[in-house]
Chain A
Amino acid sequence: MSLETVPKAIAGPSSFIDDRIGAGNFLKRNLRKVFPDHWSFLLGEIALYSFVILLLTGTFLTFWFKPGMAEVAYDGSYAPLVGVHMSEAYASALHISFEVRGGLLIRQIHHWAALLFVAGMMVHMLRVFFTGAYRKPRELNWLIGVLLLTLALLEGLTGYSLPDDLLSGAGLRITQGVILSLPLVGTYLQFLLFGGEYPGEDIIARFYSIHILLIPGLLLALISAHLILMWVQKHTQMPGKGRTESNVVGAPFYPSFMLKSGAYFLFTFGVLALLGTFAQINPIWLFGPYSPADISAGSQPDFYMGFLEGSLRLMPSWEINFLGYTLPMSVLIPALLPLGLIMTGLALYPFVERWVTGDNSEHHLCDRPRNNPHRTAIGIASITFYGLLWLLGANDWISAKFHISLYQTTIFGRFAIFLGPALAYWITYRICLGLQRNDQAVLSHGVESGVIKRLPHGEYIEVHVPPADDIAAHVRGKKEIPAIAAGPDGDGVPPKAMRTPLGRLRAKMSRAYAADTESISLDEAHNGHHDGHHDGNGHHAPAEVGAGDRKSIGH
Chain B
Amino acid sequence: MNSITARRRHPLARYAVLLLALSLLGGVYALLAPGGDRADAAIASGRADDVAAGKDLFAAHCASCHGPNAEGTSQPGTASGPSLIGVGAAAVDFQVSSGRMPLANPGPQAPRKRAPEWVNPDTVRQLAAYVQSLGGGPTKPSLESVDPAKGDPAKGGELFRANCIQCHNFVGSGGGLTYGKYAPPLNPATPTQIYEAMATGPQAMPVFNDTTITPEQKRDMIAYIVSVREQPDPGGSGLGRIGPVTEGLVAWIAGISLLVLAAIWITAKKRQVNHD
Contacts and interface: CB of A to CB of B under 8 A. Distances in A.
Interface string B149-166: 000011101100110011
B259 A46 contact: yes
Contact of B271 (A256, A288, A300): A256
Interface string B234-265: 11111101111101101110111011101110
B182 interface: yes
A287 B264 CA distance: 39
B157 A80 contact: yes
A341 interface: no
A553 interface: no
A297 B183 contact: yes
Interface string A399-434: 110011111000000000000000000000000000
A299 interface: yes
Nearest to B249: A303
B243 A300 contact: yes
A272 B236 CA distance: 13
A278 B237 contact: yes
A112 to B, nearest CB: 7
Contact of A297 (B155, B157, B166, B227): B166
Among B153, B174, B179, B245, which residue has the most Cβ atoms of chain A within 10 A?
A: B245
Contacts of B200: none
Given A167-B243, A288-B170, A275 B248 contact: no
B3 interface: no
B228 interface: yes
Given A300-B244, A306-B248, A283 B238 contact: yes
Nearest to B173: A298
B244 to A, nearest CB: 5
Given A286-B241, A399-B176, A297 B167 contact: yes
B178 A104 contact: no
Given A166-B161, A279-B237, A300-B245, A80 B228 contact: yes
Given A81-B157, A287-B170, A291-B161, A264 B252 contact: no
A37 to B, nearest CB: 5
Contacts of B264: 39
B245 A283 contact: no
Contacts of B256: 46, 116, 119-120, 123
B180 A405 contact: yes
B260 A115 contact: no
A80 B227 contact: yes
A298 B234 contact: no
Contacts of B210: none
Given A283-B238, A298-B245, A405-B179, A251 B271 contact: yes
A39 B240 CA distance: 33
A268 interface: yes
Contacts of B233: 280, 283
B241 A283 contact: yes
Q: Is the interface of A mostly helix, strand, loop or mixed?
A: helix
Contacts of A84: 154, 157-158
Nearest to A263: B266
A42 interface: yes
Contacts of A43: 259-260, 263
B7 interface: no
A10 interface: no
A464 to B, nearest CB: 27
Interface string A68-83: 0000000000011111
A128 to B, nearest CB: 15
B270 A37 contact: yes
Nearest to A304: B248
A120 B162 contact: no
A111 to B, nearest CB: 8
A288 B182 contact: no
Interface in A288-305: 288, 291, 293-303
Contacts of A41: 267
A103 to B, nearest CB: 11
B72 interface: no
A167 B161 CA distance: 11
B171 to A, nearest CB: 5
Contacts of A298: 169-170, 173, 175, 242-243, 245
B224 interface: yes
A40 interface: yes
B177 interface: yes
Among A264, A268, A281, which residue has the most Cβ atoms of chain B within 10 A?
A: A281
A108 B169 CA distance: 22
Place the interface of chain B in its size category.
35 or more
A20 interface: no
B140 interface: no
Contacts of A83: 154-155
B213 to A, nearest CB: 15
A280 B238 contact: yes
Contact of B182 (A38, A251, A278, A399): A399
Nearest to B255: A116
Contacts of B175: 297-298, 396-397, 400
A114 B178 CA distance: 33
A303 B176 contact: no
A248 to B, nearest CB: 13
Nearest to A299: B243
Contacts of B219: none
Contact of B259 (A79, A268, A303): A268
Contact of B180 (A37, A306, A403): A403
Nearest to B242: A298
B168 interface: yes
A230 B168 CA distance: 50
Interface in A23-67: 37-43, 46
Contacts of B155: 83
B251 A119 contact: yes
A529 interface: no
Nearest to A281: B247
B153 A277 contact: no
Contacts of A263: 266
Interface in A84-141: 84, 97-98, 104, 108, 112, 115-116, 119-120, 123
Contacts of A250: 271
A123 B263 CA distance: 13
Contacts of B234: 97-98, 104, 280
A81 B155 CA distance: 8
Given A277-B236, A278-B237, A295 B176 contact: no
Among B233, B235, B244, B267, which residue has the most Cβ atoms of chain A within 10 A?
A: B244
B172 to A, nearest CB: 10
14 contacts: A43-B263, A108-B235, A108-B236, A120-B259, A167-B244, A260-B267, A267-B258, A279-B254, A281-B239, A287-B170, A288-B161, A298-B242, A396-B176, A403-B182
Given A279-B250, A396-B176, A400-B174, 7 more contacts: A37-B267, A43-B260, A97-B234, A263-B266, A275-B250, A279-B235, A397-B175
Interface of A: 37-43, 46, 79-84, 97-98, 104, 108, 112, 115-116, 119-120, 123, 166-167, 250-251, 256, 260, 263-264, 267-268, 271-272, 274-283, 286-288, 291, 293-303, 306, 394-400, 403-407
Interface of B: 108, 153-155, 157-158, 161-162, 165-171, 173-180, 182-183, 224, 227-228, 231, 233-239, 241-245, 247-248, 250-252, 254-256, 258-260, 262-264, 266-268, 270-271
Q: Give me the 4 closest cross-chain CB pairs, A-B, nearest first.
A: A303-B248, A297-B175, A280-B235, A399-B176
